[in-house]
Chain A
Amino acid sequence: DIQMTQSPSSLSASVGDRVTITCRASQGISNYLAWYQQKPGKAPKLLIYAASTLQSGVPSRFSGSGSGTDFTLTISSLQPEDVATYYCQKYISAPFTFGPGAKVDIK
């Protein structure tokens, strides 16, 4: 099965900072990569699918890129409401494995 890794596992940044999280697949997955945001005590929320397509209603400060094995989630200007854990997930075929998550908080 394809394994997913993420880095860093956690980060602290200031409001307004640009934040980048990377996700790597152990084999190529084309662009079948989704990003989810999970705030404490809440269900996850889909942010980005097909590696770079923003889900409806998601702020434009979020963006995704990549294809094959290496992917990136970028928050262009970190806001207090972005404090959350971010997960990548591959969905080229079952099993739809998630990455271990990257926790983002405010410095």
Chain B
Amino acid sequence: EVQLVESGGVLVEPGGSLRLSCAASGFTFSNAWMSWVRQAPGKGLEWVGRIKSKTDGGTTDYAAPVKGRFTISRDDSKNTLYLQMNSLKTEDTAVYYCTTGGRGGVGTSLADWGQGTLVTVSS
């Protein structure tokens, strides 16, 4: 059974930094393309970005609102996905979900989701 467990969400001040983690199990993490999706309170879903598997280049893509501030990385030895968030803004306040998928143009899109972790950006 696929399990994705996010952690690291806290209250942080505007301009601050935070790193979220997503521990994965139940599938071959090193082969998986992975994504982050967020949801502001009472709002819809917003795709944040994705990272390819290392065998497919390990490169990343980001949504425009976070490009240049957020960085997705992975540690295949620990089966863990990361989201480094810098220069945080109040509008980054959201529940952040880790998901499998994000390959694009093939497959199921975002098949499996974690339970989410809440990031609050406020002074």
Contact = CB atoms under 8 A, between A and B. Distances in A.
Do A and B belong to a common assembly?
yes
A43 B46 CA distance: 13
Q: Which secondary structure characterizes the binding site on chain A? A: loop
Q: Which secondary structure characterizes the binding site on chain B? A: loop
A100 B113 CA distance: 19
Contact of A32 (B44, B105, B113, B114): B105
A92 interface: yes
Size band of the interface chain B makes with A: 20 to 34
A50 B109 CA distance: 9
B63 interface: yes
B97 A43 contact: yes
Contacts, number: 74
A98 B109 CA distance: 12
A64 interface: no
Given A34-B108, A46-B109, A49-B111, 13 more contacts: A32-B109, A43-B97, A44-B37, A46-B112, A49-B109, A55-B108, A87-B45, A89-B109, A92-B104, A93-B105, A96-B35, A96-B47, A98-B44
30 contacts: A32-B104, A32-B105, A34-B108, A43-B113, A43-B116, A44-B37, A44-B45, A46-B108, A46-B112, A49-B107, A49-B108, A55-B108, A55-B111, A87-B45, A89-B45, A89-B47, A89-B110, A91-B102, A91-B109, A91-B110, A92-B105, A94-B102, A94-B104, A95-B47, A95-B61, A95-B63, A96-B35, A96-B50, A98-B44, A99-B44
